[in-house]
Amino acid sequence: MVKLLGISGSLRQGSYNSALLRRAGELMPDGATLEIGTIAGIPLYDGDVETAEGLPAAVTRLKQQIVACDGLLLATPEYNNSIPGVFKNAIDWTSRPSSDIARVFGGKPVAIMGASLGGFGTILSQNSWLPVLRTLGCDTWNGGRLLVSGAGKAFAEGKLVDPTTEERLQAFLDAFVAYVGTRTNGAR
């Protein structure tokens, strides 16, 4: 069994990326599951807080989910042509202390997808994630991209309604799960 953890980089109730991730959970191929983690409740990173109080509970929970999964699926919005600050902040927190990076992220297969209202999907945000994931020692999957542009038409009432996008999502998931399966054989 391949166990993926999906994380949406949006806190917005009606987030297209969260809806994309929920649909991904419903489309997982046989032999795979998708647990959805959250960045909600994670405060802005402050080294003084970390020193005085340790990791916040929301960070510890997400960090444990990352350790326990076979692969990560990041659903990233794009803000000002880059990574949303709240998403990067959450990953920064989960990389603390730095001595823990290899245990949490080292060799972890990661796929990136995203939806946006614009015409280019989240290509710039996805590209911005690459040096971050490389620094963390992740195994960034390069087997495909899922860029959902025109999200206002692809989603309705919090659900993916565009059949072409759904077909692309299914193919993306099938290929990533197969890749994770060859890397981990489902072992955690």
Residue 184 pLDDT exceeds 90? no
Average pLDDT, the chain: 96
Domain harbouring 80, CATH code: 3.40.50.360
| Per-residue pLDDT, 186 | 47
Model pLDDT for residues 107-125, shown as the tens digit of each residue:
999 999 999 999 999 999 9
| Per-residue pLDDT, 183 | 87
Structural domains of the chain, count = 1
Sequence letter at residue 93: W
| Per-residue pLDDT, 135 | 98
- The pairs formed by 148-154 with CB atoms below 8 angstroms and a separation of 24 or more are 148/16, 148/20, 148/113, 148/114, 148/115, 148/116, 148/121, 148/122, 149/115, 149/116, 149/118, 149/119, 149/120, 149/121, 150/117, 150/118, 150/119, 151/16, 151/115, 151/116, 151/117, 152/117, 154/16, 154/115
Burial class (CB in 10 A: 0-12, 13-18, 19+), 83: buried
Q: Which domain holds residue 91?
A: 2-184
| Per-residue pLDDT, 185 | 65
From first CA to last CA, the distance across the chain in angstroms is 10
Overall average pLDDT of the 33-42 stretch: 98
Would the CA dihedral through 72, 57, 99, 82 be positive or negative?
Answer: positive
| Per-residue pLDDT, 188 | 47
